[in-house]
Amino acid sequence: MNCKQRLEEFLVANGVGFEEERHRLAYTAQDLAAAEHVSGKRVAKVVVAFVGRDLAMLVLSASSSVNIEKLKGELGVEDVRLAREAEFAAEFPDCEVGAMPPFGNLYGLPTYVDQALASAQEITFSAGSHTEAMRISYYDYERLVQPRIIDFAAKSRELVS
């Protein structure tokens, strides 16, 4: 079963309505936003990080980036670093690398959502490939994933790690 099928089954089993889209090849979340003709503020980007020795999924808008120092402060930890693709690819065997959906719960990873994305009415995200996306209400996303919502995105004038 591929990632998109897994997502579809999960969403249907939980009574969540969704839209599926095929689009031109998009390797970044900002490219996905352009291909889907939606604001980057409504596209959920997945960043995988090590929090201590454990992997975690960070979800933020495509137009944002992670501020490592803010993330450390929010989580109350000293050791956080972004993971390299080679370090996490095996955790998502049914997805193309870099096209993971923001459902850490489906992969056994804690999920942290930046508070700015949590204000979106709906979110668009990669559905396991660089040519497929899904759109659902943010309310349904939060209900299914139960992420921890914190403030970790860099503001435009902050230094970004």
In a domain, 62, yes or no: yes
pLDDT value at residue 34: 74
Beta bridge partners of 56: 49
pTM here?
0.91
- What is the CATH number for 98? 3.90.960.10
Judge whether 157 lies within some domain: no
**Token representation of residue 46:** 């997945």
Mean pLDDT of successive 10-residue segments in the chain (161 residues)? Answer: 92 96 78 73 91 96 93 95 95 93 97 95 92 95 97 67 41
Angstrom distances, CA of residue 85 to CA of 36, 55, 66: 25, 12, 16
Q: Which domain holds residue 85?
A: 3-150
pLDDT at 22: 84
Whether residue 56 lies inside any domain: the answer is yes
Domain count, the chain: 1
- pLDDT, position 156: 52
Assess if residue 160 is contained within a domain.
no
Task: Confirm whether 53 is domain-assigned.
Answer: yes
Q: For residues 50 and 113, what is the distance between their CA atoms, to the nearest angstrom? A: 15
